[in-house]
């Protein structure tokens, strides 16, 4: 009698376990090819219809701003950009040369911080805008992260797209007098 109940409950227990694994949070594991830790977003279903052998991940872009010295004329020298996909060990000294890699059907997050947090000045990302001559159309849409102030997130289209997308990041430096600046990096879809 007990074995019968175990066999009846087994499918239920397995489906609950798989469901909990999807909602419990982020999963981090070691990627053998790149020898770096990979964070799989908790928004990606465990049983997705992804192509076999292909791991897709979200992209996180960080802008570090020299809030004491930034001006309209020198923003390309006073803002450092990096992301966790393109080349994490290298920081782009010129945002106009930065190319962030993204995966189809995933997300990209932009956030900013001051180079010197001791000054008490904060930096926010206000928006992402496609340039008129924007090149490839990689971003599907962009919106403010409802869970975190100063962070903007973008949804990447669900198809392979070649080429670069040219866009602007609008940041605000919240000093004595708040000032805004347009930063002009690029996006590229990974293969």
Question: Is the entire prediction scored with pTM above 0.75?
Answer: no
Whether residue 86 is predicted with pLDDT greater than 80 in this model: the reply is: no
For residue range 170-180, what is the model confidence (pLDDT) as tens digits? Answer: 999 998 899 99
What pLDDT shows up at residue 18?
38
**103-162: pLDDT as tens digits:** 999 999 999 999 999 999 999 999 999 999 999 999 999 999 888 888 999 999 999 999
Q: Which CATH number fits domain 56-189: 3.40.50.11540, 3.40.50.460, 3.30.70.100, 2.60.40.3910?
A: 2.60.40.3910
pLDDT, position 89? 58
Contacts of 38 (CB under 8 A, 6+ apart): 28, 29, 30, 31, 55, 57
> Bigger pLDDT: 159 or 33?
159
In terms of pLDDT, which residue wins out, 171 or 46? 171
Q: Is 182:125 a contact under the CB 8 Å cutoff?
A: no
């Amino acid at each position: 009698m007990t074995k019968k109940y175990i066999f009846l409950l087994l499918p239920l227990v397995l489906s609950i376990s798989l469901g909990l694994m999807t909602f419990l949070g982020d999963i981090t594991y070691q990627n053998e090819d790149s020898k770096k830790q990979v964070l799989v977003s908790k928004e990606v279903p465990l049983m997705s219809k992804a192509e076999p052998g292909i791991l897709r991940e979200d992209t996180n872009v960080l802008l570090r701003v020299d809030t004491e010295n930034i001006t309209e004329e020198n923003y390309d020298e006073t803002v450092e950009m990096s992301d966790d996909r393109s080349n994490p060990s290298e920081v782009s000294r010129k945002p106009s040369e930065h190319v962030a890699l993204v995966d189809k059907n995933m997300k990209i997050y932009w956030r900013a911080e001051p180079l010197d947090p001791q000054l008490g000045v904060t930096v926010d990302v206000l928006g992402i805008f496609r340039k008129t001559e924007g090149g490839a159309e990689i971003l599907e849409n962009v919106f403010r992260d409802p869970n975190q102030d100063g962070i903007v997130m973008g949804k990447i289209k669900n198809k392979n797209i070649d080429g670069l997308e040219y866009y602007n990041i609008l940041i605000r430096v919240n000093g004595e007098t708040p000032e805004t600046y347009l930063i002009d990096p690029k996006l590229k879809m990974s293969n």
